[in-house]
Chain A
Amino acid sequence: MDGADFFEKLLNHDPQAQKKLIETFNPRIFLYFRNRIKGENNYEDLVQEVFSAFFRGLDQGKMTSVVWIAPFLFGIAKRVLYNYFYKQRKNNEIQQKVSLVCEVTCDFTEAERMENQKLSQVLNLLIKDLPQIDRLILNAFYLQEKKITEISNMINRSNHYISVRKQRAIKKIKNEIFRKKLY
């Protein structure tokens, strides 16, 4: 499915295309809210609002091609966040649920949980394949929460060496995930 084809299908409320769109952007929207709003553990309504505004906007012709999808969604997410923080959310505000504008029914939170679980599983498997030195660096940095400087002292290498190795290790995993089409 190329971009134009995909966009055409979205315009025609094709459930497959809608599902693909949600699958692609649900994790990004979740991560955005997760990072922006601390101490909140239910993002379902916010994510729902983003998608419902997106599908409404699509019907109203606010996007003309596939390249506008990501910026448009980002714009909506920012607005929803703004509303969350600064405006009194009125209880009587009519929130159009995604189910009214989209053919696909979706539990966004559950989808996100599954996605994260799957990614952790893949990561667990791929990490075993890294050279020991890389695992040592990742372990020290992420699990033991050591600073780069501490790690570099620990294994007698420069800070630069540690940072580069750490980035490369993750890049290697990323490439492997793409190569094996795991994500």
Chain B
Amino acid sequence: MRCNEFQNLIDAYLQETIDEPRRENFEEHFFQCRKCFLGLKLNEALQNKDVRITLEEKPRVFVLKLFKPLLVMSSLFLLILFSVLLVQQKRQTRLLLEISAFEIPPYHQGELRSIPENGAAIEAKFSQAMKYLQERKFRPALNLLEGPLMEEAAYPKIEFFRAICYLGEDEAEKAGEIFDAIIRAMDPAYFDDALYYKGFVLLRQGQKQAARDQFEKLAGMLSPMSMKAGAMVQKIEAIE
């Protein structure tokens, strides 16, 4: 049995309307095929009503606009704090800044096409923004990500990369706000990534201990980012 045929038979299998020869082929297939088995499990969980499927739109994660004046003030405050830090701990901060250089996270094309309205247009704009980002042109990328169409989409992926842009533009506070919101929303797609890059925000803010704790927390989690986070813990510990 091919994977395609398998997918089409899942409902029939779970509702036991499948005929016997195909039922056995179906079972033989899921013993061998990890991907198809997961698809079957997901369907089973849904059918057993083990899952909440809410219809409400996810509230917009960000209320940045409202807090803009506040943010400017706090950024200013942080800037001053940061300058003080620079004077006090020049050497350590230089080292911290050195390791706070971050790599641009990868992105996955196509996901945004499923947004009901303007999906293709949003995806096109997003791709262009990602091109800028790969070249570390943060400002043009940010302009695109905060452009009219994108802002309405309020998609976690867009928010995440907005934060990356702010991080690149050295607006750590803004980046931190966005990452915090993603972490609070426990958005599974960008939860781990947000935790990881929040560590860089803290580094850029000169908060060595907080950054170390942040990376350590992630390193201890069952996460694809845990190895990278562990490496960051070591890097930070090396600065004394």
Contacts and interface: CB of A to CB of B under 8 A. Distances in A.
Contacts of B7: 167, 171
Interface in A133-183: 133-136, 138-139, 142-143, 167-168, 170-174, 176-183
A141 B118 CA distance: 26
A25 interface: yes
A143 B50 contact: no
B39 A171 contact: yes
Contacts of B87: none
Given A32-B27, A120-B50, A70 B32 contact: yes
Interface stretch (B53-61, B68-76, B91-99, B132-140): B53-61
Interface stretch (B121-129, B167-175, B182-190, B200-208): B182-190
Interface string A29-43: 001100100000000
Contact of A180 (B46, B50, B116, B189): B189
A74 B28 contact: yes
Contacts of A132: 55, 57, 116
A50 B193 CA distance: 40
A168 B7 CA distance: 11
Contact of A176 (B35, B46, B116, B189): B189
B38 A180 contact: no
Given A133-B116, A139-B55, A142-B53, A35 B42 contact: no
A128 interface: yes
Q: How large is the interface on B (under 10, 10 to 19, 20 to 34, 35 or more residues)?
A: 35 or more
A139 to B, nearest CB: 4
A100 interface: no
A125 interface: yes
B41 A131 contact: no
A124 B50 CA distance: 9
B43 interface: yes
A150 to B, nearest CB: 15
B38 A177 contact: yes
A28 B37 contact: yes
A142 B44 contact: no
Interface in B93-116: 108, 111, 114-116
B54 A135 contact: yes
Nearest 7 A/B pairs, CB to CB: A125-B188, A70-B32, A74-B31, A139-B53, A142-B46, A120-B50, A70-B31
Interface of B: 7, 13-14, 16, 24, 27-28, 30-32, 34-35, 37-47, 49-55, 57-58, 108, 111, 114-116, 156, 186-189, 192, 224
Given A32-B27, A125-B186, 15 more contacts: A70-B32, A123-B45, A123-B46, A123-B50, A123-B51, A127-B51, A129-B156, A135-B53, A139-B55, A142-B53, A174-B42, A176-B189, A178-B35, A178-B38, A180-B224
8 contacts: A27-B41, A73-B31, A131-B115, A142-B49, A170-B42, A174-B39, A174-B42, A177-B38
